[in-house]
Copies of this chain bind each other. A is one copy, B any other.
């Protein structure tokens, strides 16, 4: 239909007998330009079918209106909710989202970080991979003052903010709940302690035991990747214990491991929660399908993503300052379901 050449501000300028500079300013509603010409410009842009060229713009202005999101893997219920929340916030503020996954591998995380830096993202949202030890690979961002926001699996760093929940408290509460249900030998299925979330959950669990005068036994603590397989293996571990040493409850650091552990124990004939109570973490869809339904911690990935992205954007827009905020803690709610309700059964 039309020419193959794209419509540029020069075309608009010629069309209106003004300069390209005026058009550029007019399109961005620069008050330096009178309202009448501004209106003319936007109208002309519409009639000519103008589309701004983001490269030219980014090349000169040095910002891209693009945020980078770097996640361990994007196909989990939690993470895809987080990304959905981020996409939403970004979209609402006229930002784009570039997404990359580290697949739990530091090396890929490093490469992805480099790519994002190279793509000149205006800000970075990151949740660390399973085995990331340090964050040297984020130095380029800090040096160039490109804001970095950690979420979920965070790393304390004075030039950045983190968004997450109070894992210690959550784990403490859920452990206490199990104790209040009469459980005495509570096992914990934890993740890699390099990641704050798992370390804090372990701490909360231990503190709760301690505060209720229960012993902390190394035999009742397993570290794993918290995968389906890990859950099943935990079940085998439990079944292999001498009956007297078996836990009467399991608090898993995620729902997946909890559910697959439950399934294995159930098929071995154990009754839940009578023989062994269960609590997970995340409120995954599977927690509402397993029978009995799994007690778990509910916290919205969507709002974590939303908050992190919004905060980053506000910083970019100068509305708030990221460097003065250390951490943003969102609420997490315990969802008590049948898997941990021993008390009611006894009544």
Contact = CB atoms under 8 A, between A and B. Distances in A.
B101 A84 contact: yes
A96 B98 contact: yes
B58 A74 contact: no
A54 B120 contact: yes
B53 A143 contact: no
Interface in A66-95: 66, 73-77, 79-81, 83-84, 87-88, 91
Q: Is the interface of A mostly helix, strand, loop or mixed?
A: helix
Interface stretch (A38-46, A188-196, A284-292): A284-292
A285 B294 CA distance: 15
A118 interface: yes
A80 B76 contact: yes
A175 to B, nearest CB: 24
Of A55, A84, A301, the most chain B CB neighbours within 10 A belong to: A55
Contact of A120 (B55, B84, B285, B290): B55
Contacts of A97: 98-100
B118 A54 contact: yes
Given A51-B117, A55-B59, A96-B115, A143 B289 contact: no
A259 interface: yes
26 contacts: A1-B143, A51-B117, A53-B120, A54-B119, A55-B55, A55-B56, A55-B64, A55-B120, A73-B84, A74-B74, A74-B80, A74-B83, A74-B84, A75-B301, A75-B302, A79-B80, A87-B99, A87-B101, A97-B98, A97-B99, A284-B285, A285-B285, A286-B289, A289-B289, A289-B290, A291-B291
Interface of A: 1, 51-56, 58-59, 64, 66, 73-77, 79-81, 83-84, 87-88, 91, 96-101, 112, 115, 117-120, 143, 256, 259, 263, 284-286, 289-291, 301-302
